[in-house]
A and B are shown apart, each in its own frame.
Chain A
Amino acid sequence: GNSVTQMEGPVTLSEEAFLTINCTYTATGYPSLFWYVQYPGEGLQLLLKATKADDKGSNKGFEATYRKETTSFHLEKGSVQVSDSAVYFCALTNRPQGGSEKLVFGKGTKLTVNP
């Protein structure tokens, strides 16, 4: 079946530090990959996505590259800010033929950025 594994948190960084949150997946075929962010007390927001191998999704300084050979979609940011403190979820969809897709989420990684 489809599954997503992401690094367990919490992750605590100082402002302007480099961020990597690892995400690997298991899926048949060619899934689409997503990173969602959840700020405290809010719902999820789509951060970035990639729909095919070697695609790079990017938004707000965050990047992730769809690596089929390593089944990974690691999230990176060169210089984090306090406002980036949130929970980050890696997810995939893998629409079965003729069906509607479901998002499969990782467990989430809580990031805290200190000034």
Chain B
Amino acid sequence: GAVVSQHPSRVICKSGTSVKIECRSLDFQATTMFWYRQFPKQSLMLMATSNEGSKATYEQGVEKDKFLINHASLTLSTLTVTSAHPEDSSFYICSARRVASETQYFGPGTRLLVL
């Protein structure tokens, strides 16, 4: 149990376009989902925390208007990178925390390349 999926796994887009990444908890309900960004050979950087039905909480330095997060249901959260630029190219990873649990379960990640 505790499987988290992400779609797409890889995406290439042109500069200036927007990209939506989906994160789903497949076999459990997730009251809280987290979005991370991972640069090559570095650790994960928490971007934001989203709770179902409420606005996401963004970490310092993360632009909320650029990285739109929606947590519409207990099994789905989306991250939209708006007006993407090459510096947004990265590995984006989501995680989901099930109700009354501390453990986060991670998705396989989405590699974004902005040309």
Interface flag for A45 (CB, 8 Å): yes
- Chain A residues 57-115 with CB under 8 Å of chain B are 89, 93, 95, 100-103, 105-108, 110
* A105 lies within 8 A of B43 (CB): yes
SS class, residues of chain B in contact with chain A: strand
SS class, residues of chain A in contact with chain B: strand
In the assembly, what is the distance between CA of A95 and CA of B100, in Å? Answer: 12
With A95-B102, A100-B32 known to touch, is A44 a contact of B93 (CB < 8 Å)?
Answer: yes
* A93 lies within 8 A of B102 (CB): yes
How many whole Å from B67's CB to the nearest CB in chain A?
17
Give which listed residue, B51, B102, B106, contacts A101 with CB less than 8 A.
B102
* B106 lies within 8 A of A36 (CB): yes
B103 contact set on A, CB distance < 8 A: 34, 46, 49
Q: What are 27 A-B interface contacts by the 8 Å CB criterion?
A: A32-B102, A34-B103, A42-B108, A43-B4, A43-B93, A43-B106, A43-B108, A43-B109, A44-B44, A44-B93, A45-B106, A46-B103, A46-B104, A46-B106, A49-B103, A89-B44, A95-B102, A100-B51, A101-B102, A102-B46, A103-B34, A103-B46, A103-B95, A105-B43, A105-B44, A106-B43, A108-B42
- Chain A residues 9-50 with CB under 8 Å of chain B are 32, 34, 36, 42-46, 49
A43 contact set on B, CB distance < 8 A: 4, 6, 93, 106-109
Interface flag for B49 (CB, 8 Å): yes
Q: Point out residues on B near A: beta carbons under 8 Å.
A: 4, 6, 32, 34, 41-44, 46, 49, 51, 93, 95, 102-109
B107 contact set on A, CB distance < 8 A: 43
How many whole Å from A29's CB to the nearest CB in chain B?
13
With A100-B51, A102-B49 known to touch, is A44 a contact of B43 (CB < 8 Å)?
Answer: no
Give which listed residue, B6, B102, B106, contacts A51 with CB less than 8 A.
B102
In the assembly, what is the distance between CA of A32 and CA of B42, in Å? Answer: 22
In the assembly, what is the distance between CA of A45 and CA of B74, in Å? Answer: 21
How many whole Å from A79's CB to the nearest CB in chain B?
27
